Structure 1
Amino acid sequence: MENHRFNYIVLLFVVFGGFLIFGLSENIKGPALPIMQSDFKLKESQLGVLLSLNSLGYLLACSFTSSLSNKVGIKWTGILAFISMVLAGIFMYLSNGYTSLTLSYFMLYLGNGILEIGLGIMAARIFTKNTGTMMNLSHFFYGLSSIVAPVLGASMMGWDVLGGELGWRGMYLMILSLAILPIIPSLIGKFPDDHQQNGESTSMRNLIRDPIAWMIVAILSFGVVSELSIGSWLVYFLENAYDWSIKKASEMLSLFFLFFTLSRLFVGPITDKIGYTLSIMIFSGFSGVCSLAAIFSGENGAILFAIAGIGIAPIYPTVMALLSKQYPKGVGTAITFTVTLMGIASVVGNLLVGFIIDFVYKKIGQGSVENKIIGLQAGYMFIGGLAILCSVCCMLLYRILRKRNQDEGNEMI
């Protein structure tokens, strides 16, 4: 019993530490990119290619991480991700041109992609009890490091080290070298295999034929695209619709992320209590209503944009909990299938927001500066509408599961 408890604590260090480092590595680029651009005299198009490697590396990692974990085990999959991040930091430090920097970034985001999928599989196998609580708590650590990362990165670049400024190279090297730390408990800990349960093992072919799997894809896609779009478009909306300063608009975005992070810390037990499908339905609906109410109430209701973070935050981790209960045999395959399609949807979703703003602005607002707010409101209504669609899909899934008389592990649907 004592050995089991010790092993569980060791695995918590791996998962929570992994999410902390993942959040740091993903979000330190903000203050570093302008200096990189200046150092290498990069055009905006070259910078765009550099950033696009984020999505490319992520989608590539989605395509093989589940198979990799089946072949070498989830322990070594995680260790490989951590090692690739450390190597990416070293190569970034040594990069002397755009090509070497691009390759370093590609390695970093490939490692990040393997880590995200790997951590999802780890968490699903480790947290067999109170899954919703533990999944949300794990992603809380990602949110916490994401809040700290830009400030930490900017501060570290100005540090005086050995008589010189640390700069973006040293900052990346030091931050990514932290990935060494979770390797130690990874080597010590004993990771559980896929849950051995009766029934046919989940395969990609089975998932393609399963309407529940596609419904979960829709739920995650609508929820995550709404989440990412708020992060991408909120500051732009407040600046252009209400003439807010960038400082004031950024403070509202920070408040959104504060509500978002605290939500993941506290709402997990609620998801375990009332069930995952019902939880996502309620929280995503709440987020959508807040976003739409914020638009219709005008500038005075802008705080509702931030409050929407409470509802949108639990969707991703709670869907991971739902997958672990719905597909206990082959959860890695289920996560790969769902997250890969979600990644594609997220690219399309962000494009659609921009096109909707532009189309409504030109067609209905007739291209006048005074009526630009109409286009902005239409774009943000689309973002809020996605959260509502997420809730509607949950309602449909809830009915399907009820008809099949299924439950979500120990928790009722």
Structure 2
Amino acid sequence: MNMLMLLFVVFGGFLIFGLSENIKGPAIPRIQLDFGLDEGQLGQLLALNSLGYLVACMFTSALARRIGIRWTGIAAFASMTIAGFFIYLSSGYASLTASYFLLYIGNGMLEIGLAIMAARIFVTNTGTMMNVAHFFYGLSSTVAPIFAASMMGWPAPFGGGEIGWRGMYAIILALSVLPIIPSLIGKFPEETHPEEERVSYRTMLRDPIAWLIVAILSFGVASELAIGSWLVNFLEKAYDWNVEDASGMLSLFFLFFMLARLILGPITDRIGYTVSVMLFAALSGLCSLAAVLVGESGAIMFAIAGVGIAPIYPTVMAMIAKFYPKGTDTAITFIVTMMGIASVICNLTIGYLIDGVRGLFARRGSSESELLGMQAGYAFIALLALVCAVCCLALYFVLRHRREII
């Protein structure tokens, strides 16, 4: 019974996490229109969100040790619900940014909390179970863009009109209260290693393997999150797709993403975590780059890239659990915090790269410069996945030299 409650929390937490992360794809063009934002300002918004995520990563592990993983998870779910209410009330760019910042603090707390829970619960077949847990993230991510696009058109219960992106955020984030119930019932496993045996931040800073894992996770997750943030905007701006069709392509990406996490988990356990991440990251990068180069007729490749990018995060989490069994929460916090810094930089880079290339080719006309700018931004997203594969290749050689390949 207790394991069932814990699975409800972990799997339900990933469902909520996927929804909160990926409803923004259809919402961003509407937010941009309402507040008159350019791509650089969007990049700032997403970077500040990543900063909130980063702040949460820096204190969540310590918070979990102080109040327990149960109450840390509950605090994350509660803050996400409150953030939805503030997003609904936001009246300008500043208030929206502050509300998003709170949301991503909750998201960061939730991601670290779920990673710690999963590492303590899934002690056997870690790669498979991590991918199964993250399958639920892919499941909710698949329906999130279409559901969000549809919900924004629902009639408002008061005052006429539609509920829009504000109401959509408030309703979906209110679902974050649901996993609190099994969190209150279940008994969570705690860290069993004495403090003196646990890996320290000083050890992590001196460990080249830790830094290679940081690079792998940073580039891989930055590419994954950037697709969720920018694909709908890309398809609308570059190819004049409507929001329904663009959201449908993002949902198709997450469908491949979800199925990959469900099916490929056992493969990562069989062929090894390092080789798996290297191959899958290369596949994702090449698919995204091919989609940009081929043009609108190759748009399906944007979705197929989900097959490659999906296993990276859960497989790296399994890798961390195997490398650092004594103090997994410390290792996760250090590595994910460094990943958060990279996400801030990458979101800023994408936004300003789009604006810069568009301005550089402005003489060719607005439509062509818009296309070139969006293509440059998305090519950078593909490059992130390819760099992830290269970093994984470097880790493979280091581990092979040490005879520690996992």
**TM exceeds 0.5?**
yes
32 and 360 in structure 1: CA distance in 2 versus 1, 3 angstrom threshold: closer
User: Which digits, 9 at most, give the CA deviation of each residue in 1:226-265, with x for residues without a partner?
Assistant: 2233334444555565565665544433322221222122
2-structure distance, mates of 1:358, 1:101: 22
Matching residue of 2:191: 194
Matches within 5 A, 1:74-85: 74-85=69-80
Matching residue of 2:278: 281
| Comparing 229-238 and 161-170, the one that deviates more | 161-170
User: Is the aligned partner of 1:14 residue 2:9?
Assistant: yes
User: Is the aligned partner of 1:261 residue 2:258?
Assistant: yes
State TM-score, norm by structure 1: 0.81
2-structure distance, mates of 1:96, 1:379: 28
Matching residue of 2:222: 225
- CA contact 2:46–2:344 (8 Å) conserved in 1: no
User: Which digits, 9 at most, give the CA deviation of each residue in 1:245-304, with x for residues without a partner?
Assistant: 665544433322221222122211111111111110111111122223334444443322
- CA contact 1:202–1:327 (8 Å) conserved in 2: yes
272 and 252 in structure 1: CA distance in 2 versus 1, 3 angstrom threshold: same
- CA contact 1:323–1:335 (8 Å) conserved in 2: yes
* Equivalent residue letter for 1:389: V
- CA contact 2:253–2:305 (8 Å) conserved in 1: yes
Match of 2:311 among 296, 311, 314: 314
Query: In structure 2, the residue corresponding to 1:123 is in which secondary structure?
Result: helix
Matches within 5 A, 1:61-80: 61-80=56-75
* Equivalent residue letter for 2:364: S
Bigger RCO of structures 1 and 2 (CA < 8 A, at least 6 apart): 2
2-structure distance, mates of 1:44, 1:378: 19
Residue 23 of structure 1: how far off its partner (Å): 2.5
Matches within 5 A, 1:13-412: 13-28=8-23, 44=37, 54-88=49-83, 95=89, 105-153=100-148, 154-155=150-151, 158=154, 167=163, 174-194=171-191, 196=193, 200-238=197-235, 248-357=245-354, 367-369=363-365, 372=369, 376-407=374-405
Residue 115 of structure 1: how far off its partner (Å): 1.1
Query: In structure 2, the residue corresponding to 1:311 is in which secondary structure?
Result: helix
User: Which digits, 9 at most, give the CA deviation of each residue in 1:127-150, with x for residues without a partner?
Assistant: 111222222222222222233335
2-structure distance, mates of 1:107, 1:167: 22
1-structure distance, mates of 2:233, 2:162: 32
175 and 305 in structure 1: CA distance in 2 versus 1, 3 angstrom threshold: closer
User: Which digits, 9 at most, give the CA deviation of each residue in 1:98-136, with x for residues without a partner?
Assistant: 688776554433222211211111111111112222222
- CA contact 2:49–2:97 (8 Å) conserved in 1: no
Matching residue of 1:410: none
87 and 163 in structure 1: CA distance in 2 versus 1, 3 angstrom threshold: same
Q: Unaligned stretches of 5+ in structure 1?
A: 1-5, 408-412
* Equivalent residue letter for 1:155: M
Aligned residues: 398
2-structure distance, mates of 1:27, 1:173: 14
75 and 33 in structure 1: CA distance in 2 versus 1, 3 angstrom threshold: same
- CA contact 1:53–1:109 (8 Å) conserved in 2: no
The structure having more radius of gyration, on CA atoms, is 1
* Equivalent residue letter for 1:113: G
- CA contact 1:226–1:386 (8 Å) conserved in 2: yes
* Equivalent residue letter for 1:129: T
| Comparing 331-340 and 100-109, the one that deviates more | 100-109
Percent of aligned pairs sharing the same letter: 62
107 and 163 in structure 1: CA distance in 2 versus 1, 3 angstrom threshold: same
- CA contact 2:145–2:250 (8 Å) conserved in 1: no
Query: In structure 2, the residue corresponding to 1:267 is in which secondary structure?
Result: helix
State TM-score, norm by structure 2: 0.82
Residue 353 of structure 1: how far off its partner (Å): 3.4
Query: In structure 2, the residue corresponding to 1:406 is in which secondary structure?
Result: coil
2-structure distance, mates of 1:11, 1:277: 29
368 and 265 in structure 1: CA distance in 2 versus 1, 3 angstrom threshold: same
2-structure distance, mates of 1:262, 1:115: 23
| Comparing 19-28 and 293-302, the one that deviates more | 293-302
261 and 336 in structure 1: CA distance in 2 versus 1, 3 angstrom threshold: same
1-structure distance, mates of 2:120, 2:87: 34
292 and 132 in structure 1: CA distance in 2 versus 1, 3 angstrom threshold: same
When the two chains are superposed, the root-mean-square deviation of aligned CA atoms in Å is 3.7
Residue 152 of structure 1: how far off its partner (Å): 4.1
Query: In structure 1, the residue corresponding to 2:124 is in which secondary structure?
Result: coil
148 and 314 in structure 1: CA distance in 2 versus 1, 3 angstrom threshold: same
* Equivalent residue letter for 1:73: G
User: Which digits, 9 at most, give the CA deviation of each residue in 1:188-213, with x for residues without a partner?
Assistant: 22222235399942111111111001
Query: In structure 1, the residue corresponding to 2:403 is in which secondary structure?
Result: coil
- CA contact 1:361–1:367 (8 Å) conserved in 2: no
2-structure distance, mates of 1:27, 1:295: 22
2-structure distance, mates of 1:92, 1:241: 28
Residue 186 of structure 1: how far off its partner (Å): 1.7
